[in-house]
Amino acid sequence: MTANKSCWARSVFACALIILSFAARPAAAQHPQSALEPTPPTEGSPQGQSEAQEKVGNDQNEPKNPPAGTSNDRLFYALPNFLTIENAGQIPPLTARQKFKVVARSSFDYVEYPWYGFLSAISQAENSEPGYGQGAAGYGKRYGAAFADGTIENFMTGAVLPSLLRQDPRFYQSGQGRFWHRTAYAITRILVTRSDSGHSQFNYSEVAGSAASAAISTYSYHPQGDRNVSNTLSVWGTQIGYDSITIVVKEFWPDIRRKIRKKN
């Protein structure tokens, strides 16, 4: 299935980013933290001032101001990272309208179009889902399916279910503790999230949302031969795995960014 192949391609790419994250982590990340909860730096600390300056720099690269409680951040200055919060502090919950708006902003960002083109080229080369065929027509079908798969999952996990269940779709970075401590914190965010009122609860939006998106894509526009429960479960598992890897990259991205800027 295109979604399955594409997600694994993205997972391999994300694994490479994690290796870079491990190599680039600063000395401050070596101090352990007592609980798997983010502890943002104070405004007066050097780290807080540095991150504030970085945030201003990122905002200047965007044509519009982000909605309250979101960001203009981009992973490796490219992939949208608008639902990641570096310094939590006191921020208001997102309204349903804001959740849909920021997910749409991410899903239809200009970077997504060539990104899905790249994933579709991999799928075409591997001849995944032969029912699509080859040539321009086959590539077009794969591109449309890959774009739809990613967009549906983004909306289900970041807007639809979070709005219905009143859950917060944002990822709050920890930024404190040893590498494996922070990694564990990030991975557990797949299963644990915040409610709009700020309480920790099971992440139904991610788990059920990715399952729903896998079922929708499998049984609607993918080739008839791939429409079965086994394939749906495979796609669901792949999406959860990819999201887990991606969220770890998001946790360490500020460390990598500071490392890159120091070298420059």
Please tell me the predicted confidence (pLDDT) of residue 2: 45
Report pLDDT digits (tens) over 88-143. 667 889 999 999 999 999 999 999 999 999 989 998 898 888 888 889 999 999 99
Q: Cβ(258)–Cβ(83) under 8 Å? A: no
Please tell me the predicted confidence (pLDDT) of residue 68: 67
Please tell me the predicted confidence (pLDDT) of residue 264: 66
Please tell me the predicted confidence (pLDDT) of residue 113: 94
Please tell me the predicted confidence (pLDDT) of residue 225: 83
Q: Cβ(111)–Cβ(87) under 8 Å? A: no
Q: Cβ(250)–Cβ(22) under 8 Å? A: no
Domain boundaries, the chain: 2-263
Please tell me the predicted confidence (pLDDT) of residue 226: 84
Please tell me the predicted confidence (pLDDT) of residue 175: 84
| Alpha carbon distance 209, 124 (integer Å) | 27
Please tell me the predicted confidence (pLDDT) of residue 112: 93
Q: Cβ(201)–Cβ(167) under 8 Å? A: yes
Please tell me the predicted confidence (pLDDT) of residue 66: 67
Please tell me the predicted confidence (pLDDT) of residue 13: 52
| SS3 label, residue 132 | helix
Where b means 16+ CB within 10 Å and e means fewer, 95-113 reads eeebbbbbbebbbeeeebe
Residues of the chain with pLDDT below 50 are: 1-3, 5, 7-8, 10-12, 14-35, 39-43, 45-47, 49-61, 63
Please tell me the predicted confidence (pLDDT) of residue 202: 97
